[in-house]
Amino acid sequence: MPGSRAFTEIGPADHRVDMDALQSQFGNLPTQPAKQNLFWYRIYKAYRGDLGIADASKAYVAARDLTVLNLLLVFAT
């Protein structure tokens, strides 16, 4: 699961994520994969109604569905 690497790999590698701000807001961030995943989804649930997050989620789902449809059409034709 991507959430299991949120604070050790994905967040530090992404220039858009301010890891210092996360740590100051939430305290010490977990490093164990299972605890990272639980904590990530706890944060996500608190902010999932925000416009930017909802829009990104919608775009991801649309891209995923269109990719699957394109693959099916390639094999069908």
What is the rounded CA–CA span in Å between residue 18 and residue 16? 7
The predicted structure's pLDDT at residue 74: 95
Q: Is the pLDDT of residue 2 over 90?
A: no
Q: Is the pLDDT of residue 1 over 90?
A: no
Identify the DSSP state of 5. G
Per-domain boundaries in the chain: 2-76
Residues 6+ apart with CB under 8 A from 11: 17, 19, 22
Average pLDDT over residues 1-11: 91
Helices (H), the chain: 11-13, 19-26, 33-47, 51-76
The predicted structure's pLDDT at residue 40: 94
Per-residue pLDDT reduced to its tens digit, 17-56:
999 999 999 999 999 999 999 999 999 999 999 999 999 9
